[in-house]
Amino acid sequence: MTEPALDAHVRFDTHPTHSTAVTATVTGSQAHAAVMGLEADGWETVAKNTLVLARIDHEEPYWANEAAQQLNALGITTEISDRLRKAIHEEWTWADYPMPWLTPSEIREVSDQAQKIYDDIRHGDLLIHAHAHDGHTTVAVGTYVDTGKSVYLHGENHLRQVADTFDSPAQALTAFERMHGDTMRPGPAPTTDTEHQTAQARTFLGTPDTGTEPPAAQPEPAREPEVVPSYAADPGDHDALLEEFLAAHGEWQKWRTWSDDTTHAIHESQTLRIERVHEADPQETSWTVAAYETPVSERMWHLTATDTAPAPVLKALLNQLADTDTWETAAGSPITDKTVTEATRPLTDAGWKHTVDGRWIRWETPQKDAGVQFDAFAAQNPGHYLPTWTLWAGQNPNRPTWAIHASTYTPAALLSHITGELAEGIGTRQPTKRVTHSAPAPPPRSPHQPPAPRRR
């Protein structure tokens, strides 16, 4: 029986700035029915009744055609632009595809599974604990939040697959560390070029180049920096912060590597050291603080920070490193409830929300835009690479704007000063500039990025 027609019309077209993404514009008094159906299939709303489908497997034209047929079956009229229709019927293949024995439909199925993994990670349904590079590609280990099943992931973008499964995060992490301990890093891997461009297509609708020169933009009047909580402040100049700290504390000596890309600072006791990596990737570690019981002993504790960490928070950290009473601690001191309470008391006093989720204890702002996470598993297994403490701001601990990670024996007094800065400190942030031009050119292709589709 034919479904009654709905007063909704969907026009599918190619994305104005992304080579394979597709847009859908919905009109009609029952437009919401079409919008809800498209959102259920992975389309994302970027404006009122305007949606975008952007995938890491570059199969958007195929899935747009599928969506049109499904909407037609529901009694919703659809229209496909000539440009998109040409792309739908155009045959193509991946250059140097690593599984050449697969048929086009089988390749599409593999890519769709990779897309589902990517979406699960992006939406927070699959929590990535750690990643590494196996010499050929990126590998990772994570756990599905709803089922508790842990998985070992192999590959990037449209080639990412579940290579193994585990009954628990502990089992998965133990196996992952055994295989990739030398290159293992906490949290998800940095986004690939493909993921970055796909995310940009989902959030930005520019206008295609018409060959005409756009009118000159009028300069905006200068705007004063905004006063914001410390955790939301700008990173500022990290190199200047380190130089200011060293100039004020003569008990520290510094030296720079021959390649000039790293500065080391060592306390006169030779038991506390700072490493500052210049020009690091914004989401990668650019600061490492490490403490030792003696100048020649094993490391007692360490703390790392990304290059995007806010200036006020880093300044609070450096100030406490000048106080030996703050960072000195007995080697191997077990972490206790008292330790956790001392480290997080400023957050509790400030009214941050306190939750327990399995092995993780979290404190978050009421707005959920910053938080502190304590990993009980890592605390009980200090030999593991996983951080016991994660301080962050942004979307969530796995997609942070910035992050600080600390090991099990990091002194509670030091952590308390940093969390106090998060809870009570303030800083400044430059207002976001309004974008009045088309999307910027994509970044250079990574040597590890899979080749783009080749039309034939």
Closest CA to 286 of 372, 409, 403: 403
261 and 113 assigned to the same domain? no
In tens, the pLDDT along 405-419 reads 999 999 999 999 999
Cα 312 to Cα 291, 407, 416: the distances in Å are: 22, 22, 15
> In this predicted structure, what is the pLDDT of residue 123?
83
What is the model's pTM?
A: 0.53
Let me know if residue 136 belongs to a domain: yes
Q: Are strands 77-80 and 9-14 parallel, antiparallel or unpaired?
A: parallel
359 and 247 housed in the same domain:
yes
How would you class 6 by CB atoms within 10 Å of its CB: exposed for 0-12, middle for 13-18, buried for 19 or more? middle
Asked whether residue 265 falls in the same domain as residue 129, the answer is: no
Q: Give the total number of structural domains in the chain.
A: 3
301 in any annotated domain = yes
Does residue 97 lie in a domain region?
Answer: no
Domain boundary among 92, 115, 145: 92
If asked whether residues 71 and 164 sit together in one domain, one would say no
- Cα 4 to Cα 1, 24, 38, 67: the distances in Å are 9, 22, 19, 18
- The residue ranges of the chain whose pLDDT is under 70 are 1-4, 91-96, 204-223, 257-260, 326-333, 383-384, 432-456
Whether 110 and 162 share a structural domain: yes
- Looking at the fold, whether 46 and 165 belong to one and the same domain comes out as no
- In a domain, residue 22? The reply is yes
Looking at the fold, whether 167 and 237 belong to one and the same domain comes out as no
Burial class (CB in 10 A: 0-12, 13-18, 19+), 147: exposed
Residue that finishes a domain, picked among 34, 67, 92 = 92
Q: How many of the other CB atoms lie within 10 Å of CB of 325?
A: 8
Tell me what pLDDT residue 365 has. 94
What does the pLDDT read at residue 451? 38
111 with 248, same domain?
no
d(CA 29, CA 113): 35
Q: Please report where in the chains the tokens 């906490």 appear, as a residue.
A: 186
Residue 52 lies in a domain: yes
- In 235-341, where do the E strands start and end? 252-256, 262-267, 272-277, 285-292, 299-306
User: Same structural domain for residues 85 and 109?
Assistant: no
Co-location of 115 and 75 in the same domain: no
| Residue 443 in domain | no
DSSP state of 431: P
Does any domain span residue 444?
no
Pairing of strands 138-144, 272-277: unpaired
On whether residue 455 sits in a domain, the answer given is: no
Same domain, 254 and 378: yes
Residue tagged 């707005």 (tokens): 367
**Is 382 found in the same domain as 241?**
yes
Structural domain boundaries, residue 23: 9-92
